[in-house]
Chain A
Amino acid sequence: MLSVDIEKQLGEFSLKAAFEAAGGATALFGPSGAGKTSIISMIAGLMRPDRGHIRLDDQTLFDAAARIDVPAWRRRIGCVFQEGRLFPHLSVRHNLDYGRWMSGIAEDAKTLDHVVHLLDIGHLLDRRPGKLSGGERQRVAVGRALLARPRLLLLDEPLASLDAARKRDILPYLERLRDEARVPMIYVSHEPGDVKRIANHVVMLDRGRVTARDGVDLLT
């Protein structure tokens, strides 16, 4: 269970959002400029809220009043960014291994096989990110985040940089991820179609405020 109640002033833009997300996939839905990416960054620990708190399960990740701010590298929250952000100097295999390596998790061929199979990236393992297509890159990015054994997976418009055909290719993988990986997900998007396919719950955002919280029928 993720519980977020944060405030952040970014220049003229004021962000004030509170919501909770249980298991399954929760969508952060809203037009661009609604503050979705900022919220994701604060949950991940890459941006610091001005006020409020962020809790995950029974751990407080951030609490302005109590001066708690767990650094990103200790939060165990996986991120898939819009542009993938794969490490260009490492092969796909080493990109996938990076989180396990940094977190000191023992090698585990079974989990690796499972994730590689789930995302269908086995044939890419020895390539460099520069030689991947946009869709392949995003699948590897998802795999890399998963293999660090996150407690929560944040997907920040992972399909935004892809054309319609690539999107159709990758959506089924995200559905499988939701159904098989058993990691709660926060899925950021401004596309109602994607959200309807992926998410169980929706948090609607507009201009830095939560405007609605509900099941996916909100979008019809």
Chain B
Amino acid sequence: MNVLTLTDQDLTAILLSLRIASVATLVALPFGIAIALLLARRDFWGKSLVDALVHLPLVLPPVVTGYLLLITLGRNAPVGAFLADHFGIIFAFRWTGAVISCGVMAFPLMVRAIRLSIEAIDRRLEDAASTLGANRIWAFITITLPLALPGIIVGCMLAFARALGEFGATITFVSNIPGETQTISAAIYTLTQVPGGDAAALQLVVVAVIISLAALVASEWLARRATARLHGA
């Protein structure tokens, strides 16, 4: 059996998956850092509620998350209709909608990794920075953020891998449209549903394994490099 003879449709699904997962990670990152910082450094009323909400996509069935997205951001849903009418932003059945569902599903993993790395930083370093004339924002940019970098890298890679594998929420929210919302996972699912699609499915499975492994290895390497650089090795 010839393992890698990818059709155009396969290639489209692979590239789309990579694009959706990358954009979802990048869009989630600033929010991930902000929420991680909030949870790691602040005590406020309702903190455990925020924490629970962030973790919700991790414990809910993905189909439920997708359905919740559909009834809030769908074309006829209140928020979705508002965004479409006033800003022309439409998520339903678009690849941008897949970005949203993948981002939401990946968010808890990202926040967890970043939060842990921020919690490991000695807060007194920020005090030291403030006695040297750095206000909170500068202290964050010059001290906290670089020291949290290994955790941020790991968080991004986990989020990327999670987004790449996202299936349930995405297919529920934006369906399975080749070229628009059909990711690798959805394409494999489709192939397994047609007679004789097994071989083609297997090829995509191999591609998915390669991409996921590469992402993991790259994140390990990057995180180790970042840690080494931070500590001057």
Which A residues lie at the B interface, using CB under 8 A?
44-46, 71-79, 81, 83, 85, 87-89, 91, 98-99, 102-103, 127-131, 144-145, 148
> Is B130 part of the contact surface with A, judged by Cβ < 8 Å?
yes
Assess the B146–A89 pair: CB atoms within 8 A: yes
Which residues of A sit under 8 angstroms from B124, Cβ to Cβ? 81, 83, 85
Give A113 Cβ to nearest chain B Cβ, in Å.
Answer: 20
Specify which of B131, B133, B143, B229 is in contact with A87 (CB 8 Å cutoff).
Answer: B143
| Chain A minimum-CB-distance residue to B229 | A89
- Neighbouring A residues of B130 by C-beta, 8 Å: 45-46, 71-73
Most chain A beta carbons < 10 A, residue from B130, B132, B135, B229: B132
Whether the pair A144, B132 counts as a contact (CB closer than 8 A) is yes
What number of B residues sit within 8 Å (CB to CB) of A? 22
Q: How far is the CB of A139 from chain B (nearest CB, A)?
A: 16
**Residue of B124, B128, B138, B147 with most chain A CB atoms under a 10 A cut-off:** B128
Asked whether A89 lies within 8 Å of B230 as measured between CB atoms, the reply is yes
Closest 4 CB pairs between A and B? A128-B232, A99-B132, A103-B133, A102-B133
The answer to whether A102 touches B132 (Cβ under 8 A) is yes
Instruction: Give Cα A76–Cα B134 distance, bound, in whole angstroms.
Output: 10
Bound Cα distance from A44 to B132, whole angstroms: 10
Bound-complex Cα distance A42 to B37 (A):
25
Q: Contact mask B185-225 → A, CB, 8 Å, 1/0?
A: 00000000000000000000000000000000000000000
Q: Hey, what's the 0/1 contact readout for B101-138 against A, CB within 8 Å counting as 1?
A: 00000000000000000000010110111111111001
Please give me the residue from chain A that is nearest to B147 by CB atom: A89
- Asked whether B86 is an interface residue with its Cβ less than 8 Å from the other chain, the reply is no
Q: Which listed residue, A76, A91, A130, touches B133 by the CB 8 Å rule?
A: A76
Residue of B nearest to A97 (CB): B132
Interface of B is mostly: helix
Indicate if the CB atoms of A46 and B131 lie closer than 8 Å.
yes
Residues of B contacting A76 in the complex (Cβ-Cβ under 8 angstroms) = 133
B231 part of interface (Cβ distance < 8 Å): yes
Give the chain A neighbours of B131 by CB distance below 8 A: 44-46, 72-73, 75, 77-79, 145, 148
Q: Is the beta-carbon distance between A91 and B128 smaller than 8 angstroms?
A: no
Given A85-B125, A88-B231, A71:B132 Cβ within 8 A: no
Q: Report the separation of the CA atoms of residues A78 and B130 in the bound assembly, to the nearest whole angstrom.
A: 10
**In the complex, A129 Cα to B147 Cα: how many Å?**
14
How far is A99 from B134 in the complex, measured between Cα atoms in Å?
8
Instruction: Name the distance in Å between B60's Cβ and chain A's nearest Cβ.
Output: 38
Q: A88-B147, A103-B133, A148-B133 are in contact. Are A81 and B128 (CB under 8 A)?
A: yes
Which residue in A45, A71, A88, A98 is a CB contact (below 8 Å) of B129?
A98
